[in-house]
């Protein structure tokens, strides 16, 4: 099939960009390396939009949360990723979590069935010199293509490590010790009882022993060329967090606030008391057979993981469907290298999308993929493109990537209200609602003025 746009990379960003372009009548060649005999250090399948880390798209609250607002904006633009996420949804309190296999299949089937999309299993080694191209190869870009990108940009890509959390078989969790509850009993939606997480309680002695175990555990060794590569704070390995202080985990992924251990119920406290620390597990598939250890991304060696994690109350007999892992990610210094339409300044026929631009998170990557699809569609139609306002979640994220951030200190970033134009005249307690209200209003105006583009 002759194509209008060549998309390299069939992850979340590439899949979303393909959907947006194909839905507007443009023909897309989607090149995906996996399935051609090639893979990456983190992927396990050749499915499009495979989720290699958590199965959570994080908060779905679009009234007080920046990523929830991003969900809202993407849904308004008929995002394939959000559409597939709804079909693959599993209980996760106020978060949007998915069955990763169902999710990937939904994305791939939608694109495979679209007459304007051709999916080709092939490795692309060099940047195309002609034709509109979107590079969405993610943080695990193959070495040959990464070298080509480096040659085109004239600078080396930055790099960081991304760690993967373990997954536990539900039937090996001791529910006589653990209990089901979302923090503060928060409900995920109609029919929810506020019991979406499995909670494993720890007393002080158990916690201190666990903390010491994290410090003492055998870790994966770094290769020489990896030693100076920094971690991204949003995906910090559990043992690295432990090194920051004995109570760091109790104020992070193991915080006990809002979780009542029913085993400690008394007449005075009929719901139970908060434990000293808690390990939470979140449902990872629709069947409820697999559960993800929340915030427990790790670089410990496999044997050390099994030994230490089985000291957690309720997980003494745990069997792991997947243990934690570590892989090296790369991303561009986008404020220096890309223009406001995510085009490479030295080669304007090439756009970049997704995590390789330095955004962090599934939804953020998908949103940037969506925007590159809209930008390319407008260019093909001979129309000017107006970016969403910086007051919106998509606009704030785009602004950070393409110029608001300092190039010298550019680091991966999740969407957050710190990227939005400040509202100092609004009281602090009311700012989140004010940010989302302003964003929705401005997004609605922008969307209504968005030109209808079709091939």
Which CATH number does 164-328 carry? Answer: 2.40.30.260
Residue 381, exposed/middle/buried by CB under 10 A (0-12, 13-18, 19+)?
Answer: middle
- Tell me if the domain spanning 5-157+332-449 has CATH number 3.50.50.60: yes
> Residues 416-454, buried b or exposed e (16+ Cβ, 10 A)?
ebebbeeeeeeeeeebbeebbebbbebbeebeeeeeebe
Positive/negative CA dihedral, 234, 179, 169, 307: positive
- Judge whether 12 is annotated as a binding position: yes
Write down the pLDDT at residue 115. Answer: 98
What is the residue whose two structure tokens read 């078989």? Answer: 169
For the sheet containing 197-202, what is the strand order? Answer: 179-180, 197-202, 277-283, 290-293, 167-169, 320-322
- Judge whether 11 is annotated as a binding position: yes
Number of neighbouring beta carbons within 10 Å of residue 4: 20
Q: State the Cα–Cα distance between residues 381 and 121, nearest whole angstrom.
A: 28
Write down the pLDDT at residue 54. Answer: 87
CATH 2.40.30.260 positions along the chain are 164-328
Largest CA distance in the chain: 74
Q: State the Cα–Cα distance between residues 273 and 111, nearest whole angstrom.
A: 49
> Residues 276-304, buried b or exposed e (16+ Cβ, 10 A)?
bbbbbbbbbbbeeebbbbbbbbbbbbeeb
pTM of the model: 0.82
Listing DSSP states for 175-238 in one string gives TTT-EE--GGG---STT--S--EEEEEE-HHHHHHHHHHHHHS-BPPPPGGGTTPPBPGGG--H
- What percent of the chain has a predicted confidence (pLDDT) above 90? 70
Q: 138 near 86, Cβ under 8 Å?
A: no
Write down the pLDDT at residue 157. Answer: 63
Q: State the Cα–Cα distance between residues 2 and 28, nearest whole angstrom.
A: 8
Q: State the Cα–Cα distance between residues 311 and 252, nearest whole angstrom.
A: 19
Bridge partners (DSSP) listed for residue 89: 98
Coil, strand or helix: which one is 402? helix
- Judge whether 325 is annotated as a binding position: no
Q: Could you read off the pLDDT of 255-299 as tens digits, one per residue?
A: 999 999 999 989 888 888 999 999 999 999 888 998 999 999 998
CATH 3.50.50.60 positions along the chain are 5-157+332-449
HSE (side-chain half, CA atoms, 13 Å) at 60: 20
Kindly state the tokens that stand for 103: 């999710």
Spell out the per-residue pLDDT of the chain, length 455, in tens: 799 999 999 999 999 999 999 999 999 999 999 888 777 767 778 899 999 888 999 999 999 899 999 999 999 999 999 999 999 999 999 999 999 999 999 999 999 999 999 999 999 999 999 999 999 998 778 888 888 988 888 766 667 777 789 999 999 999 999 999 999 988 766 666 778 999 999 999 999 999 999 999 998 877 665 666 777 777 789 999 999 999 999 999 999 999 999 999 898 888 889 999 999 999 998 889 989 999 999 989 999 999 999 999 999 999 998 899 877 778 898 999 999 999 999 999 999 999 999 898 999 999 999 999 999 999 999 999 999 999 999 999 999 999 877 777 787 888 999 899 999 899 988 999 999 999 999 999 999 998 777 76
- Judge whether 14 is annotated as a binding position: yes
CA torsion angle for 396, 398, 399, 404 (degrees, to 10)? 110
Task: State CA 264 to chain mean position distance.
Answer: 36
Write down the pLDDT at residue 225. Answer: 56
């Amino acid at each position: 099939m002759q194509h209008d746009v060549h998309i390299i990379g069939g992850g979340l960003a590439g899949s979303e960009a393909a959907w947006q372009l194909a839905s507007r009548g443009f023909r897309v060649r989607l090149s995906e390396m996996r399935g051609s005999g090639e893979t990456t250090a983190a992927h396990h399948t050749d499915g499009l939009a495979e989720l290699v880390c958590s199965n959570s798209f994080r908060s779905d609250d679009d009234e007080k949360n920046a990523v929830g607002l991003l969900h809202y904006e993407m849904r308004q633009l008929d995002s394939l990723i959000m559409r597939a996420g709804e079909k693959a949804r599993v209980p996760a309190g106020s978060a949007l979590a998915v069955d990763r296999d169902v999710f990937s299949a939904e994305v791939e089937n939608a694109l495979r069935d679209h007459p304007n999309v051709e999916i080709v299993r092939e490795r692309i080694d060099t940047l195309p010199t002609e034709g509109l191209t979107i590079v969405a190869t993610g943080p695990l870009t193959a070495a040959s293509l990464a070298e080509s990108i480096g040659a085109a940009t004239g600078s080396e890509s930055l790099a960081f490590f991304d760690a993967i959390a373990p997954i536990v078989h539900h039937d090996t969790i001791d529910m006589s010790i653990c209990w089901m509850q979302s923090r503060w009993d928060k409900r995920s939606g109609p029919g929810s009882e506020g019991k979406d997480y499995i909670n494993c309680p720890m007393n002080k002695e158990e916690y201190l022993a666990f903390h010491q175990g994290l410090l003492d555990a055998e870790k994966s060794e770094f290769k020489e060329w990896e030693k100076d590569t920094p971690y991204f704070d949003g995906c910090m390995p559990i043992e690295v967090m432990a090194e920051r202080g004995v109570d760091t985990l109790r104020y992070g992924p193991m915080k006990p606030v809002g979780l009542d251990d029913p085993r400690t119920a008394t007449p005075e406290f009929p719901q139970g008391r908060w434990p000293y620390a808690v390990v939470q597990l979140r449902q990872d598939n629709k069947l409820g057979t697999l559960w993800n250890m929340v915030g427990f991304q790790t670089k410990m060696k496999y044997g050390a993981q099994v030994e230490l994690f089985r000291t957690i109350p309720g997980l003494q007999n745990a069997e792991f469907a997947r243990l934690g892992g570590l892989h090296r990610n790369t991303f561009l210094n986008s404020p220096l290298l890309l223009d406001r339409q995510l085009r490479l300044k030295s080669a304007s026929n090439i756009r970049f999308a997704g995590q390789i631009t330095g955004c962090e998170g599934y939804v953020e990557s998908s949103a940037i993929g969506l925007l590159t699809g809209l930008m390319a569609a407008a260019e093909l139609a001979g129309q000017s493109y107006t970016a969403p306002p910086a007051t919106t979640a998509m606009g704030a994220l785009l602004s950070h990537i393409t110029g608001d951030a300092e190039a010298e200190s550019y680091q991966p970033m999740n969407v957050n209200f710190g990227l939005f134009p400040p509202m100092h005249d609004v009281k602090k307690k009311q700012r989140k609602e004010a940010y989302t209200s302003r964003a929705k209003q401005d997004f609605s105006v922008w969307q209504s003025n968005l030109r209808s583009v079709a091939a």
